[in-house]
Structure 1
Amino acid sequence: MITYVFPGQGSQTKGMGGTLFDEFKELTTQASDILGYSIKELCLEDPQANLGQTQYTQPALYVVNALSYQKKIQETGKKPDFVAGHSLGEYDALFAAGAFDFGTGLKLVQKRGELMSRATGGGMAAVIGLNAEQIANVLKQNNLQSIDLANFNSPAQIVISGLREDINKAQPIFEGTQGVQMFIPLKTSGAFHSRYMEEAKREFTAFINSFAFSRLTIPVISNVHARPYQESEIAQNLIEQITHPVKWTDSIRYLMSLGDMEFAEVGPGKVLTGLVQRIKREAGQ
């Protein structure tokens, strides 16, 4: 069995997509028409240095992931057994599974990126070396319960999310904690996947409720539940995902529990490939 995994924000790089834009001209034109700017120019040249800004990053990654998937299907001639995506990548997993067409997915992602980019004053940081329980204890002992656990990337790589001043306050505390190998502040504008995204979630709810979704042709593993999507809950899952943590470790463990499972990262970079290897390695811990 094979699972295709689609990366999310943080995997973007100038030059991503390469020849895909010319290979899939129709979809590239459709994307540029929806967005109101050249997606090819943004990804390959990034002349205005916009690629790192959430409202541009998310549509750009969605498009490159989707074109990468089209290419993969063209090359292999068959679909994967399962799909999963990390945060924004979940939209590509749903596109691959037939929940919506390319253009609909892009409209959803464009709105999501816009709303999330408005959430300023927040920050995120990766804590490497401690498990979720240990991180929660450090936050509690230091009266930092205003910080949420946002991404469970691997058993010992957890991303925390909160107000920027609280994340800054947490840095020396974690760096002085036994077992912490690294504390890495992330380049994000907001406290994604936390309670501080409630406003974005509210506005996204109003937007997504006007869309209808199709039957899934491939099981999609949900970030929120780390289990396959229920078809009746596609919109609700995408709404909840904005404020809920990404349960990546549990998602990969669930897929591994199904039997002999291969994973292939579809999109730019190898972030998820590294996380999957780490989850396999740390599975016994």
Structure 2
Amino acid sequence: MKYALLFPGQGSQAVGMLGKHAVTEIEPTFREASDVLGWDVAKLVGEGPAEELNRTERTQPALLAAGIALWRVWRKQEPPSPTALAGHSLGEYTALVAAGSLRFADALKLVELRGQLMQAAVPEGTGGMAAVLGLDDEQIEALCARYPGDGVLEPVNYNSPGQVVVAGDAAALDWLQANGKANGAKLVKRLPVSVPSHCSLMRNAADALAERLDQTSVQPPAIPVFHNLDAKARVAPDEIRQALKEQLYRPVRWTQTIRALHADGVGAFLECGPGSVLTGLNKRIADGLQSLALDDAANLQQALTLARS
């Protein structure tokens, strides 16, 4: 069976994540990450506090390390190679490491910087994100376009049909919360984040990140990686760098990505990271998609059977 591995982004982190796998399988990768970053990733992931783990500059490298730790566990089972990889936002970096396009150490430093730049781009409390349920993509786009103020209000995560995340200035999000239901939304829920990711407020951060990307070695991926921008795979290193830059201020087209993989013949999707957020989204994207999260050792064995079938 053709299968794809999916790597989650921010929101999947939790103190104790990957705790259902043996410490001996996971901890070496966390130790390697600690040596690169100069702080104890294993201790933060295992003991918290949650407030520190949820800091963007900590969350991003910790999640990348968790995804690669689980990827290494998966590869030790000697499964057939996946047809393709994809990652949601931050998870795209994890996918590129798994594909051999980015070195693990380089990616850790990149995403730590990415988190720092994102947090610095918008003063805390002046921007944010909100999930909107019950409207299709075009309705969300039209609603955001009707915002009467001068601030930014943009759809940024097309997660599944009827579930889109919007980002922008705090005042614009207040307007969305006040007017969403009157315009057909079932729910507008503010997310507990201070960074308005994937919107135009991140352009300066993207420019600064691009400078580091230009200094980072990027190789053609050994496994195709479908990118958030347009659900297409890239081979040329400069095109990958550009995609990672634009990803910071352009929407994550997750629904389009999963449908593109499915149209390419992928029959099963395995979530390689903590939690099962992407597995849940897949159930809303298309009926009949086989999806399984690998953060449980029992699920990993079931996934191996699926991949070898």
The TM-score, its normalising length taken from structure 1, stands at 0.93
Q: Does residue 166 of structure 1 match 2:172?
A: yes
Written as runs of structure 1 = structure 2, the 5 A alignment for 1:177-188 is 177-178=183-184, 180-188=185-193
2:161 aligned with 1:155: yes
Alignment of structure 1 residues 1-285 onto 2, 5 Å: 1-18=2-19, 19=21, 22-47=24-49, 49-118=51-120, 119-120=122-123, 121-143=126-148, 146-178=152-184, 180-232=185-237, 233-281=239-287
- Output the amino acid matched with 2:138: E
Q: Is the 8 A contact 1:2 1:261 kept in 2?
A: yes
Identity in percent: 37
Give me the whole-angstrom Cα distance separating, in 1, the residues matched to 2:159 and 2:131.
9
Contact (CA 8 Å) 1:151, 1:245: kept in 2 or not? Answer: yes
1:20 and 1:239 mapped to 2: Cα distance?
A: 36
Ranges of 4+ aligned residues in structure 1 off by more than 6 Å: none
Alignment partners' CA distance in 2, 1:260 and 1:89: 19
Instruction: Quote the Cα distance in structure 2 between the aligned partners of 1:45 and 1:164.
Output: 32
CA RMSD of the aligned region, Å? 1.9
Cα 1:128/1:282, change in 2 over 3 Å: farther
In 2 relative to 1, CA 141–266 (structure 1 residues): closer, same or farther, beyond 3 Å? same
Q: Which amino acid aligns with 1:266?
A: C
Q: Rate the CA distance shift 1:6–1:260 in 2: closer, same or farther, 3 A.
A: closer
**Structure 1 counterpart of 2:276, one-letter code:** K
Q: Deviations over 1:228-262 (max 9, x none)?
A: 12323111111110001001011111111112521
Q: 1:48 to 1:260 in 2, by over 3 A?
A: closer
Which stretch of structure 1 is more off in the superposition, 137-146 or 192-201? 137-146
Supply the distance in 2 between the matched residues of 1:267 and 1:76 (Cα, whole angstroms): 18
Please give the secondary structure, in 2, of the residue aligned with 1:184: strand
Decide which moves more: 77-86 or 268-277: 77-86
SS at the partner of 1:176? helix
Partner amino acid, structure 2, of 1:220: V
State the alpha-carbon separation in 2 of the partners of residues 171 and 282 from structure 1.
34
Rounded to whole Å, the distance in 2 between the matches of 1:260 and 1:194 is 30
Segments of structure 1 that go 5 or more residues without pairing to the other structure are none
1:205-226 Cα distance to aligned partner (Å, 9 max, x none): 1111111212211010000121
Shift of residue 268, structure 1, vs aligned partner: 0.6
- CA deviation digits over 1:32-55, x for unaligned, max 9? 122221101111111373111111
Secondary structure of the structure 1 residue equivalent to 2:258: helix
Contact persistence 1:147–1:163 (CA under 8 A): yes
Say if 1:116 and 1:192, in contact at 8 Å, map to a contact too.
yes
| CA deviations over 1:141-197 (Å, ceiling 9, x no partner) | 34257311101101211111101121112101003322x222111121111100000
Q: In the superposition, relative to structure 1, how do residues 282 and 2 fare at CA in structure 2: closer, same or farther (>3 Å)?
A: closer
